[in-house]
Structure 1
Amino acid sequence: ENQIITDLLSLVKMNKNAQNLNIRTVNINELLEQTLKRLRPIADKKNVEMVMESFRPVSAEIDEMKFTLAISNLVENAIKYNHDNGWVHVSLNADHKYFYIKVEDSGIGIPEKDQPHIFERFYRVDKSHSREIGGTGLGLAIARNAVIVHRGAIKVYSTEGEGTTFTVRIPLTYVAA
């Protein structure tokens, strides 16, 4: 399938480490708004309400393509693994050193035993859902790699049956190794 090839290429390109990052100052508010706008048709199909909340204007030094890929994967999962008529809440905040993105959903949640493994390549929580929901099992591995090459951190908090929250923390200023 083409998607798996595309996803694997994304992962391989990111694994070559940070040398080929295209770092520039990006308006993170706009990046999030554009990402949500692009994913809205998928949300509309499931009648999932998407809300973005920003606490301040944020600009940061990132690789726009790689970082957009990470956030797109998180938001798309929040939609795909949600209930019909559910919600996805994306928030952006920053302090003097980092910016923070939180992607929360009212979805099916992730069992506690699976949470340590969700960032592994090809790991699927529910194999039976894989066919109907689609995807390659690489989205969260790609998201995690994109966050790490930006010297950031990604965490998951989830309660099965209640929903999931991913938090991403990225330095405002990129510092090469």
Structure 2
Amino acid sequence: IDRESKIIEDLLTLVRMDKSVATLNIISVNMNDLLEMTLKRLKPLAQKKNIELLFESFRPVVAQIDEVKMTQVISNLVENSIKYNVEDGWVHVSLNADYQYFYIRVEDSGIGIPEESINKIFERFYRVDKARSRETGGTGLGLAIVRNIILMHHGTIKVHSEENIGTTFTMRIPLNYVENQQ
């Protein structure tokens, strides 16, 4: 039942974003605080697998974002980094900014993503290893949701991964939200 609930919840999130009426509740948010709070909430999950969760910020960052949706992005990426990691591994989250964008990087020492799967991981229901993701409780929708939220913020997300070495997701999002930006 929990798994079905999670799938339904993720599907509803995607459907809401598909509608042209998908709205963002844009407010000024201290990104350092948001990341610290999100990682603090995920620390018990990391501790269960003896994974070191590190946060590094290069400067204070305040950005105009939808706080709830951006929290979902960070949670999704960090949870994946924990779930698909090795025992005694690490997850490193960093925050930086320039005059126009802020950057969040989520790196891990996990199992990595096969090269042939890299271009498909943001597709709905795509799973690299179906058996493994079922046992970790994945729905195959998390990264599709992440990508949609970042696009709604006029941002980009890139991934670099090597099997048995780890994965790095890098997001670039404008500090100031501009509606209907092309």
Q: Tell me how many residue pairs correspond in the alignment.
A: 177
**CA distance, structure 1, for counterparts of residue 19 and residue 147 of structure 2:** 14
Question: What SS does structure 1 have at the residue aligned with 2:6?
Answer: helix
Identify the residue that residue 2 of structure 1 maps to in structure 2: 5
Which among 43, 62, 69 is matched to residue 66 of structure 1?
A: 69
Task: Give the residue type in structure 2 aligned to 1:43.
Answer: A
Task: Give the residue type in structure 1 aligned to 2:36.
Answer: E
Q: What stretches of structure 1 of length at least 5 have no aligned partner?
A: none
Identify the residue that residue 44 of structure 1 maps to in structure 2: 47
Residue-by-residue CA offset, 1:108-148 (whole Å, 9 max, x unaligned): 00000000000000000011212221110100000000100
Q: Contact 1:120–1:141 at 8 Å: present in 2 too?
A: yes
TM-score, scaled relative to structure 2: 0.95
- In the alignment, structure 1 residue 118 sits paired with structure 2 residue 121: yes
Q: 1:55 to 1:17 in 2, by over 3 A?
A: farther
Deviation at 1:164, TM superposition (A): 0.1
Deviation at 1:17, TM superposition (A): 4.3
Q: 1:117 to 1:37 in 2, by over 3 A?
A: same
Superposed, 1:103-114 pairs within 5 Å as 103-114=106-117
What do you get for the CA RMSD once the two structures are aligned? 1.0
**CA distance, structure 1, for counterparts of residue 108 and residue 21 of structure 2:** 31
Which among 18, 23, 32 is matched to residue 29 of structure 1?
A: 32
Deviation at 1:71, TM superposition (A): 1.0
- In the alignment, structure 1 residue 11 sits paired with structure 2 residue 14: yes
Q: Percent identity?
A: 67
TM-score, scaled relative to structure 1: 0.97
Which among 92, 97, 102 is matched to residue 99 of structure 1?
A: 102
- In the alignment, structure 1 residue 57 sits paired with structure 2 residue 60: yes
Q: What stretches of structure 2 of length at least 5 have no aligned partner?
A: none
Question: What SS does structure 1 have at the residue aligned with 2:85?
Answer: coil
